[in-house]
Amino acid sequence: MRAIHSRIGAGTAALLSVLAFCGRAAIADPLPLGATYHAGEATFRVWAPFVQAVAVEINDGQPIALQKEPNHPDPADATWAVTLTQVAPGDRYRYAITFEGRTANFIDPRAQQLTGSTGTASAVVVDPSFDWQDSTPPAYRTPTFNEMVIYELHIGSFSRSTTDGKFNLAGAIEKLDYLQQLGVNAVEVLPVHENPEFRDHSPPEYDWGYDPVQLFAVESSYGTPRDLKEFVKQCHGRGIAVVVDVVYNHLSPSSLLTKFGGWSNATNGDGIYFYDDSRRDTGFGPRLDYGRPQVRSYIQDNALTYLREYRVDGLRWDSTINIRAMNNDPINRGLPDGVKVIKETNDAYRNGEPKQPEKIAIAEDLQSAGIVTNPTICEPCLGFNSQWDDGLYYSLRSAVSQPLDGSRDIFDVKQAIEKKVGGDVFGRVIYSENHDKVGHPDNGEIRIPLAIDWVNPTSVFARKRSTLAAAIVLTSPGIPMIFQGQEMLDVNNFEFSKRTPVEWDRTEKYGGIVRMYRDMIALRRNLAGTTRGLTAQNLNVYHLNDKDKVIGYHRYDRGGAGDDVVVVANLSNQSFPSYNLGFPREGGWKVRFNSGASVYDREFKGGDSFDTSATAGPKDGMRFNGNVGLGPYAVIILSQDA
């Protein structure tokens, strides 16, 4: 065993001014909380109030004392620190904390790597250095929100690594070329926090990721902090942004922060990181105490670690309604402390150094509240860029799953397309599938093809109507998102307690459907320069034919060739070889996309469409009109050459 030496003595203040970090000159400010490795030394700092002593044990060795920092006179803000030489990345450590005469071991709440998720686990010293330049093009930029098309994926079921056969970050990297070819320019990754080992699951490490045992450690079954950085780097090298789900509304009931330090004044015994009254219970696990500035810093620093150290492009906050309120009731049971931590965190990356206004903050609030996405200068406003919106999902799912055409409510679909949350149409993330909406079969939340045709979810009707829903999502105002496997007609429910891997052979079996998604995504991103309106704020749902179940809408920026886009959706099983509707401009209009075309599926019949010419004559409130070909359950997209 290596000899490990401490540098504490009388000069605790001097300790904090001696060390350089990541090549910076020595500074007087303390290093971050957690274990900071730098050139053969590691500084350990931990917030541990109301305790008598703190020590660190390296590789199960003898405890080495930390000293209480003198610049924290408030007992509730007590921080302890020590710098040790001969410490290397990969070394394991635990804190031994003495409280009321008893000493027990605890995991570092700020550790970025753990050996497991139970109380017997150890933290691991991590080397923060990483070569970001190799293979990462300097021209990479986070896509603007109006250009973003998100692919939601779960590391634990997305792709098995060819190296070790596990579902991990390395396996996900192997499929990034596929995502690049599909055309998505952002991935939203389900949480990568360390999660409990559910031994009654098969395999035991499987989990969606929404029950963190602490916030900073990367899920050990997925890989290491270096593996997460490599994943982000490889995504950026392909022009793909990375958004990571974070869970700040609760921790796991088996959280490693429970009773941290031994201190607790609560009958429920959760300790310094959690509320000790009725605010504690979320129904999923204990709620963090947002009223403590040290806990708010814990959350804020975690967010900044992802955005700055891991260089992710954004965060999607899980269940923000359970941060800003209790029981989904912000009017009568609001949590001002929760509002404060959200506002402080969103302001920190935008206004702190370095400023990162290009990063995206997404809320899963599901209340359609404008205050969620309004700037934080408004007192109750939270400052997110966008928020998940279930409205279009429910309308589309209802419409396409109805067995009879006459039962489809196109007025409801129209209102869902038109829905605007806050002042920006991209203030909502829209979808026809996401992990929740395909992962709770007991509640009827299943894959859309299965909802359409329970007996044969790959039938021609399931294929046509599920892709019709996706086409409306990808042409409606908002940030569109698809869920892993959706583009290859995956019909397996994404269950919480049973791993449901992506079946990659479906990309061959349903290659035409994959191609359809690729073509839709290219148009949504305006890659050919002919559909700028799909990236713009303006919408006019101007044609509504309830008898024949046809909807027509106009997307545009300033208007004109290459800008104006007309989308026509047929929610019925009948063909219209020549269907007349209004157009915003006269002249030639080209069919850029037709979801009913046989090129996508040989069983798609009666779906011929054609370029058309709009001529003078009022129709649907427009000055011009033209005829289009519409197939059964098909969406067509038309625009004019620039």
> Which pLDDT tens digit goes with each residue over 538-556?
999 999 999 999 999 999 9
Number of C-beta neighbours around residue 97 at 10 A: 23
Compute the distance between CA of residue 516 and CA of residue 535 in angstroms, rounded to an integer. Answer: 19
What is the DSSP annotation of 191-204?
Answer: P-B-----TTSBST
Per-residue pLDDT of 118-156, as tens digits, reads 989 999 999 999 999 865 566 799 999 999 999 999 999
Distance of CA 445 to the CA centre of its chain: 19
Which tokens sit at 564? 């104006």
Q: Which residue has the tokens 């997404």?
A: 362
pLDDT by residue (tens digit) across 301-322? 999 999 999 999 999 999 999 9
What integer pLDDT is reported at residue 495 of this predicted model? 83
If you average pLDDT over residues 216-225, what whole number do you get?
96
Q: d(Cα 595, Cα 591) in Å, to the nearest integer?
A: 11
Q: What are residue 630's DSSP bridge partners? A: 576
Q: Which two tokens stand for residue 584?
A: 């915003």
The two tokens of residue 361 are 């903050």
Torsion of CA 344, 347, 349, 351, to 10 degrees: -130
**What is the bridge-based pairing of β-strands 538-545 and 102-106?**
unpaired
3-state secondary structure 302-350: HHHHHHHHCCCCEEEECCCHHHHECCCCCCCCECHHHHHHHHHHHHHHH
Is the separation of the CB atoms in 603 and 640 below 8 Å?
Answer: no
Pick 496 or 625 by higher pLDDT: 625
pLDDT tens track for 190-200 = 999 999 876 45
For residues 319-340, average pLDDT? 94
Residue 17 binned pLDDT confidence (cut-offs 50, 70, 90) = very low
Alpha-carbon span 543 to 14, nearest angstrom: 73
Residue 635 three-state SS: strand
Beta-carbon count within 10 A of 358 CB = 15
pLDDT digits (tens, 9 = 90+) for 378-396: 888 999 999 999 999 999 9
Mean predicted confidence (pLDDT) in 1-30: 42
Q: Residue 2: what pLDDT?
A: 55
Three-class SS of 214-254: CCCCECCCCCCHHHHHHHHHHHHHCCCEEEEEECCCCCCCC
CB 342 within 8 A of CB 267: no
Closest CA to 287 of 246, 314, 248: 248
**Contact at 8 Å (CB) between 348 and 278?**
no
pTM of the full structure: 0.94
Average pLDDT over residues 401-407: 97
Question: Domains (ranges, CATH) in the chain?
Answer: 5-106 (2.60.40.10), 145-524 (3.20.20.80), 532-639 (2.60.40.1180)
| Mean pLDDT value of segment 472-491 | 98
Residue 471: its H or E element: helix 460-475
CA dihedral of 246, 251, 257, 263, whole degrees rounded to 10: 130
Q: What angle do CA 34, 94, 90 make, to 5 degrees?
A: 75
Instruction: Answer for the pair 623, 585: CB distance below 8 angstroms, yes or no.
Output: no
CA distance 4 to 44: 13
Task: Say whether pLDDT at 333 is over 70.
Answer: yes
Instruction: Give the count of beta carbons closer than 10 Å to the beta carbon of residue 603.
Output: 11
Flag whether pLDDT at 186 surpasses 60.
Answer: yes
* Structure confidence by residue, pLDDT tens digits, 93-110: 999 999 999 999 999 999
The closest alpha carbon to 84, from 68, 112, 69, 63, belongs to 63
Strand partners, 38: 41
Pairing outcome for strands 64-65 and 67-68? unpaired
Q: Distance between alpha carbon 179 and the CA centroid of its chain, in Å?
A: 16
When mean pLDDT is compared across 8-22, 31-45, 278-292, the lowest value belongs to: 8-22
Is the omega angle on the peptide bond into residue 203 within 30 degrees of 0, that is, cis? yes
The CB-side HSE value for 564 (13 A sphere, CA atoms) comes to: 17
Locate 182 and state its tokens.
């599909």
Share of the chain above pLDDT 70, in %: 93
SS3 of residue 615 by DSSP: strand
pLDDT band at 18 (very low <50, low <70, confident <90, very high): very low
CA distances from 532 to 142, 254, 385, 538, 564 (A): 19, 49, 21, 11, 7
How far from 110 is each of 12, 14, 104, 223, 295, CA to CA, in Å? Answer: 21, 23, 18, 17, 12
| CB-based contact 263:99 (threshold 8 Å) | yes
Instruction: Check pLDDT > 80 for residue 424.
Output: yes
Angle between helix axes 511-524 and 460-475 (nearest 10 degrees) is 10
Q: Give the separation between CA 319 and CA 436, rounded to whole angstroms.
A: 12
- Sorting pLDDT into bands at 50, 70 and 90, what band is 183? very high
Residue with tokens 């038309």: 638
Percent of the chain with pLDDT over 90: 85
Phi first, then psi: what are they for 51, rounded to 5°?
A: -115, 160
- Sort 57 into a burial class: Cβ within 10 Å, 0-12 / 13-18 / 19+: middle
Residue 24: pLDDT band with limits 50, 70, 90: very low
Amino acid at 119: G
